[in-house]
């Protein structure tokens, strides 16, 4: 009988191959690590959601807005009595739509992928705390609500910006006109406007106009015999007075060169509410220009356009009016608002620069050279009527020749 024995199993050597389950678990772990890293970067402001505002402030809470630019005086806008005013111009009203438009634009800025986060990047894009192109500060009273640093241009109507203490630099849709620090760019250009329908009476030095009790148009209050108001001219004048424009706000200080004590024209409007608004227009006295050549000052004076100053009697501001608008108001005389009277019937106007026709010459058709010679009758009459003291003297005798009558027709 043959003895039998068990055969030993071979021993496996080497690294075991991972199973599919282990591979799946490893992939899930890698995804989790990547997600955690992404969230960490987001918290550090290295990436931001498009829904995250760049500046966190409430528009309704802002009552002070300060705009600074390198090399220019800062602009300060303040909200008083329900409207925005320009502190740089003694509280002159600002354009409400422009101020509110800027606040809306700032509140709508969103964080996107930053272009830089380091101090070197801030300096490169001109948005560092001590080296910037511009800065906007929003405040409520003495409390700062938001600060935005303005840097170099990033394209058309785009620039690099940085918010407050945030190290990240972003691109933002902000144009130069929206963030200008020039006070004249923020004034309310419609400040002088009146509703044309509210104007009931216009009083000028030479004429007074009033709305009729019935119908449209205007009527001449103190119309004389035969005077008729030109309705189109009156409507044009009323429209101009209702839509006055101005170039600049000169401030509230009365200066001698404004010559407001010697106005060129004054007028008054009476509104439907019963309120009256008075206006005084004068010409700015320009200092004489220095010249080195004779006649230069006269030439410069002729070429320099006149400047005009307007002031409302119940407001403190002095305004500079465009020359074309001021000169139209100066030319608003009584004659310019009346219909020209018709010429009398049967009267033919003769040009002043043409001599009246000679009746005898026009009737006979005689030649002008023939008519120019004196007729014998005229010569005889002249000699007969000569005064005694006009007798010729001995010295005059050679110059006087006896007249020989030709064709004497006298009886």
Do 176 and 244 sit in the same domain of this protein?
A: no
Report the share of the chain in percent with pLDDT over 70: 72
Q: Give the pLDDT confidence score for residue 386 in this predicted structure.
A: 44
pLDDT over 80 at 403, yes or no:
no
The residue ranking higher by pLDDT, 258 or 343, is 258
Edge-first strand order for the sheet with 143-155 is 92-93, 83-86, 75-80, 64-69, 134-140, 143-155, 158-163, 170-172
Which domain covers residue 232, as residue numbers? Answer: 196-286+303-337
In a domain, 73, yes or no: yes
In a domain, 356, yes or no: no
Q: State how far the Cα of 310 lies from the Cα of 327, in Å rounded to an integer.
A: 12
In a domain, 269, yes or no: yes
Dump the DSSP string for 14-42.
SPPPPPHHHHHHHHHHHHHHHHHHHHHHH
Q: Domain boundary at 164, 185, 206, which?
A: 185
Do 171 and 226 sit in the same domain of this protein?
A: no
Q: What is the mean pLDDT of residues 164-189?
A: 94
Residues 11, 15, 20: CA angle, nearest 5 degrees:
115
The residue ranking higher by pLDDT, 378 or 90, is 90
Q: How confident is the model at residue 9 (pLDDT cuts 50, 70, 90)?
A: low
Q: What is the mean pLDDT of residues 110-124?
A: 92
Q: Give the pLDDT confidence score for residue 339 in this predicted structure.
A: 94
Do 272 and 329 sit in the same domain of this protein?
A: yes
Q: Give the pLDDT confidence score for residue 297 in this predicted structure.
A: 53
Neighbouring residues of 359: CB distance < 8 A, sequence distance ≥ 6: none
Q: What is the mean pLDDT of residues 110-115?
A: 90
In a domain, 113, yes or no: yes
Render pLDDT for 307-338 as a digit per residue (tens, 0 to 9): 999 999 999 999 999 999 999 999 999 999 99
Q: Domain boundary at 157, 185, 213, which?
A: 185
Q: State how far the Cα of 172 lies from the Cα of 102, in Å rounded to an integer.
A: 13
In a domain, 382, yes or no: no
Do 201 and 329 sit in the same domain of this protein?
A: yes
In a domain, 191, yes or no: no
Do 125 and 172 sit in the same domain of this protein?
A: yes
Do 266 and 155 sit in the same domain of this protein?
A: no
Instruction: Indicate the number of domains in the chain.
Output: 2
Q: How confident is the model at residue 406 (pLDDT cuts 50, 70, 90)?
A: very low
Do 206 and 273 sit in the same domain of this protein?
A: yes
Q: How confident is the model at residue 64 (pLDDT cuts 50, 70, 90)?
A: very high
Q: Domain boundary at 121, 150, 185, which?
A: 185
In a domain, 162, yes or no: yes
Do 87 and 210 sit in the same domain of this protein?
A: no
Do 216 and 323 sit in the same domain of this protein?
A: yes
Dump the DSSP string for 343-386.
PPTT-----TTSPPPPHHHHHH---HHHHHSPPHHHHHHHHHT-
In a domain, 40, yes or no: no
Q: What is the mean pLDDT of residues 167-185?
A: 94
Render pLDDT for 82-108 as a digit per residue (tens, 0 to 9): 999 999 999 999 999 999 999 999 999
How far are the Cα atoms of 114, 279, 327 from residue 336, in angstroms, in the given order? 66, 20, 13
pLDDT over 60 at 46, yes or no:
no
Do 134 and 258 sit in the same domain of this protein?
A: no
Do 135 and 222 sit in the same domain of this protein?
A: no
Q: How confident is the model at residue 37 (pLDDT cuts 50, 70, 90)?
A: low
Q: What is the mean pLDDT of residues 383-395?
A: 45
Q: State how far the Cα of 211 lies from the Cα of 263, in Å rounded to an integer.
A: 27
Do 170 and 203 sit in the same domain of this protein?
A: no
């Amino acid at each position: 009988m043959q003895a039998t024995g068990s055969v030993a199993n071979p021993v496996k050597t080497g690294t075991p191959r991972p199973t599919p389950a282990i591979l799946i678990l490893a992939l899930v772990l890698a995804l989790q690590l990547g997600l955690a890293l992404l969230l960490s970067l987001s918290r550090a402001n290295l990436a931001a959601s498009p829904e995250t505002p760049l500046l966190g402030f409430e528009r309704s809470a802002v009552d002070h807005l300060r705009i600074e630019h390198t090399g220019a005086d800062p602009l300060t806008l303040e909200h008083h009595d329900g409207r925005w005013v320009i502190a740089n111009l003694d509280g002159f009203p600002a354009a409400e739509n422009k101020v509110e438009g800027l606040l809306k634009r700032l509140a709508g800025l969103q964080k996107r992928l930053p272009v830089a986060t380091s101090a070197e990047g801030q300096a490169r894009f001109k948005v560092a705390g001590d080296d910037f192109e511009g800065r906007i500060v929003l405040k409520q009273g003495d409390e700062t609500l938001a600060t935005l640093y303005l840097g170099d241009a990033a394209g058309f109507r785009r620039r690099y910006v940085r918010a407050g203490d945030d190290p990240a630099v972003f691109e933002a849709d902000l144009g130069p006109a929206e963030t200008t620090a020039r006070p004249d760019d923020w004034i309310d250009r419609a400040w002088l406007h009146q509703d044309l329908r509210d104007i009931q009476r216009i009083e000028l030095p030479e004429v007074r106009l009033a709305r009729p009790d019935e119908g449209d148009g205007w009527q001449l209050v103190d119309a004389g015999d035969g005077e008729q108001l030109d309705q189109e001219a009156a409507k044009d004048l009323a429209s101009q007075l209702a839509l006055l424009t101005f170039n600049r706000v000169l401030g509230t200080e009365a200066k001698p060169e404004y010559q407001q004590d010697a106005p060129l024209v004054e007028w008054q409007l009476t509104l439907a509410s019963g309120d009256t608004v008075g206006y005084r227009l004068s010409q700015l006295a320009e200092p004489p220009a220095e010249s080195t050549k004779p006649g230069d000052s006269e030439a410069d004076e002729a070429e320099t356009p006149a400047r005009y100053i307007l002031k409302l009697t119940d407001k403190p501001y002095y305004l500079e009016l465009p020359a074309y608008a001021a000169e139209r108001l100066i030319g608003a005389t009584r004659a310019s608002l009346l219909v020209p009277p018709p010429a009398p019937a049967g009267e033919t106007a003769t040009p002043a620069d043409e001599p009246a026709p000679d009746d005898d010459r026009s009737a006979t058709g005689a030649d002008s050279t023939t008519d120019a010679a004196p007729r014998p009758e005229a010569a005889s009459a002249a000699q007969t009527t000569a005064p005694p003291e006009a007798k010729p003297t001995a010295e005059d005798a050679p110059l006087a020749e006896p007249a020989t009558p030709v064709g004497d027709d006298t009886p």
